[in-house]
Amino acid sequence: MTDPKAQPKLTLSTSVKELPGVGKARAASLNKLGIENVSDLLRHLPMRYEFLAGETSVEQLQADTIGTARGIVAAKRWVAGGRGKGRLEVTLQDEADTLRLVWFNAAYLQEKLFPGVHLRVTGKVQHFGGYPQMVNPKFETLAYDVVPEPLPSYRRPIYPATEKLPSSQIEELIAHCLDQLAGQIPDPLPVELLEHHAMPNLAEALMLVHRPDQPDDPGVGRRRLAFNELLLLQLGIEVKRQYNQDRLQAPTLRFSQAKDEHIRQRFGFELTDSQKQVVGEIAKDLQRDVPMNRLVQGDVGSGKTVIALYGLLMAVSDGYQGALMAPTELLAEQHYLSMSKMLKGSSVRIELLTAGQASANSVARKEIEARIEAGEIDIIIGTQALVSESIKFSNLALVVVDEQHRFGVLQRAAFRSKMSEQVQAGRIASPHYLVMTATPIPRTLSLTLFGDLDVSTIHGLPPGRKPIITRVVGSEKSDDVYTYIASRVAKGEQVYVVVPAIDESEEESENQLKSVAAHSRLLQEKYFADFTVSSMHGRLKPAERDVIMGSFREGNVHVLVATTVIEVGVDVPNATMIVIEHAERFGLAQLHQLRGRIGRGTKDVKNLCVLIADPVTDEGQQRVDAIADSTDGFRIAEKDLEIRGMGDFFGTRQHGMPPLRVARIPEDMDLLQLAKRDATDMVKADAQLKLPENQTLRKVLLKQYGTALGLIDVG
């Protein structure tokens, strides 16, 4: 074993690769668990504890418990099996009784375990043939001339592990780190705050969860560690919010009743009460010189595009530019088409800019860029191409970001860099931001992931949206489903068929997954021979997708087989049915989004969503049941959070946010509220955490959230 003295000094930021006994394979297994450094390792908490009763005599060992005893090896024998396998049987004798020990496929132990050897063994106690027995117990060899102290009872932590990295090895690594760091774990939180909440310091909390003495210790330690995570996150959000208010300046847009009426006339329909309320909140924000940071959430089809256009037109009517950034080219094109339709006949200059255009026609791309910089384009819609270095705005006032969970804070900073560097009194120019999501966000999550945004919610659906019936069937009913669908297609309706894979492969064939290509052929030949079946997926070039989508929208394609590329933004009023194959493989939010592709037309027909599913896990069954039971996106989002937990709901890594390893939302909602209050108070007293007592906290905050929350520019 490597001499500990030769090891570099251990800190919380030390990579696990530098720990004794951790090679490439073990480091890879740790990385798989999300463990990169010592801090991650110490926040990898036990999922449960085994109570080990302490060392007893063989006579006192209790069946079906984990026990420890010592004795002398009285006899051993190797029982050979086939192919070199077998078992080693050892008889251990203490002062009064006999314990039978069995190790399977451990021939190498014959050289270590021979009569006369003193052993201490720990394992699960069973009774076999009238004698107590342990199978594959842990053991240590004891010296002949030294009588060690009996092992006390203790709670053994059992950690989430992998096939190649068992809990016992994780326990050893954590024990090593705790021993090396004893008394040297810096606590970022002020002592006064911990005393106020009667919480242990960080080092004590780690000992409580990894080496508990009392049954309540793990809960006390975990609560402190969870509070640590939530307070850091809320502090980052509050510091950023305060910075935005104090240092950033956005254009102040003028508003009047006449302007409001003029913009609404463009829509051709009356806004719902909920839409009117959200529009009012946006108009109020845009009249201030503090940049708006507002999240508009609404269910699928709730009319968010109209809200976005209202804000963009408010900017344009005051002589400014607006930009809308979408996560996919398909969605950007959809926004461009729907907004162009509403702006038909107006003087508003609207353009589309996507990455696909850049490769297809660089001359056209440069022309659009030049017009943006010259102020000759009022509204520009695109993908991440909008934040490329070559884009320069003339006078950008509003940025609309669709599907915020696909983007991070960095894109917001990128738009700010495209404006003039400084304005009055040293404040930095910034556009207003309006964020839209069709994935309803539970309140607990909006506080956590979007705490720097004000939230507006569009309740209900606009008039004219048709109800959708959802049915769940097993794969054995597929024939009945497609026969019924074909009868409705024959009457002029259209259908989406969604599959979870693009290409056929050996693995997919074994799992009976349906690829786009294979399923298209099957449907064309067996059910829709007299109709047009097309397929679409993310690997197609944008121009190819446009052609297929255009044909489907115009009714020339009757059945569209696709992957989740149609998940958001696709609007085909004549599509009245959607079939989702292997529905158990999709996330709840995905299923709800896909279902929202139908029910958009005026036909008086039954809008039908069929989930073909054969769930093999409880979670898969829960997802399918939840989508069948409700069409309310907010209720579904809460259920999704309940099923998957905070860490996976959006996949915090998509946000660029470090995952919460310890805190559990919504269970820790009280801690989240507490952290939010404390963070607000701390930032009020010390806006940039520059007081001496906040220096450790400031360093930890910048390290953990500096990039994700854009705190680097805060200073």
pLDDT one-digit tens code per residue, 316-360: 999 999 999 988 787 888 899 889 999 999 999 999 998 766 554
Of the ranges 254-268, 303-317, 407-421, 509-523, which one carries the lowest mean pLDDT score?
A: 407-421
Domain 54-152, CATH class in plain words = mainly beta
Per-residue confidence at 423, pLDDT binned at 50, 70, 90?
low
Q: Quick check: 496 and 562 in contact, CB under 8 A?
A: yes
What is this structure's pTM? 0.68
Residue 587 has a pLDDT of 83
Tell whether the torsion through CA atoms of 451, 454, 459 and 461 is positive or negative. negative
Helix (H) or strand (E) run with residue 643 in it:
helix 633-644
pLDDT, mean over the chain? 85
Distance, CA of 281 to CA of 310 (rounded, Å): 12
Category of 118 on φ-ψ map: left (φ > 0), alpha (ψ -120 to 50) or beta: beta
Look at residue 507 and tell me whether its pLDDT is greater than 50.
Answer: no
Residue 443 has a pLDDT of 66
CATH 3.40.50.300 range(s) for the chain read 250-458, 468-630
Look at residue 505 and tell me whether its pLDDT is greater than 70.
Answer: no
Q: Both tokens of residue 62?
A: 């209790």
Per-residue confidence at 426, pLDDT binned at 50, 70, 90?
low
CATH number for domain 250-458, candidates 3.40.190.10, 3.40.50.620, 3.30.300.30, 3.40.50.300: 3.40.50.300
Residue 231 has a pLDDT of 93
Percent of the chain with pLDDT over 90: 47
Nearest to 313 by CA among 372, 266, 250, 382: 266
Looking at residue 554, the DSSP 8-state letter turns out to be T
pLDDT, one tens digit per residue, over 95-117 is 889 999 999 998 889 889 999 99
Per-residue confidence at 68, pLDDT binned at 50, 70, 90?
very high
Of the ranges 348-362, 516-530, 693-707, which one carries the lowest mean pLDDT score?
A: 348-362
Residue 218 has a pLDDT of 94
Residue 78 has a pLDDT of 93
CA 360 to chain centre: 34
CA trace torsion 41, 44, 48, 52 (10° rounding): 10
Task: Give the mean model confidence (pLDDT) for residues 399-411.
Answer: 65
Look at residue 384 and tell me whether its pLDDT is greater than 70.
Answer: yes
Look at residue 501 and tell me whether its pLDDT is greater than 70.
Answer: no
Residue 653 has a pLDDT of 42
Task: Give the mean model confidence (pLDDT) for residues 369-396.
Answer: 91
Look at residue 530 and tell me whether its pLDDT is greater than 50.
Answer: yes
Look at residue 477 and tell me whether its pLDDT is greater than 50.
Answer: yes
Q: Which of 293-302, 394-403, 626-635 is the most confident on average? A: 394-403
Look at residue 709 and tell me whether its pLDDT is greater than 70.
Answer: no
Distance, CA of 413 to CA of 711 (rounded, Å): 11
Question: Cα–Cα distances in Å, from 61 out to 101, 537, 567?
Answer: 14, 62, 59
Q: Both tokens of residue 372?
A: 């943006």
> Exposed, middle or buried by CB within 10 Å (0-12, 13-18, 19+), for 289?
middle
Q: Both tokens of residue 212?
A: 């508990």
Q: Which residues contact 261 (CB under 8 A, 6 or more apart)?
A: none
Superfamily of domain 468-630: P-loop containing nucleotide triphosphate hydrolases (3.40.50.300)
Task: Give the mean model confidence (pLDDT) for residues 169-198.
Answer: 92
Q: Which of 40-44, 534-538, 572-576 is the most confident on average? A: 40-44
Per-residue confidence at 474, pLDDT binned at 50, 70, 90?
very high
Task: Give the mean model confidence (pLDDT) for residues 242-257.
Answer: 88
Distance, CA of 43 to CA of 214 (rounded, Å): 20
Nearest to 328 by CA among 433, 412, 407, 415: 407
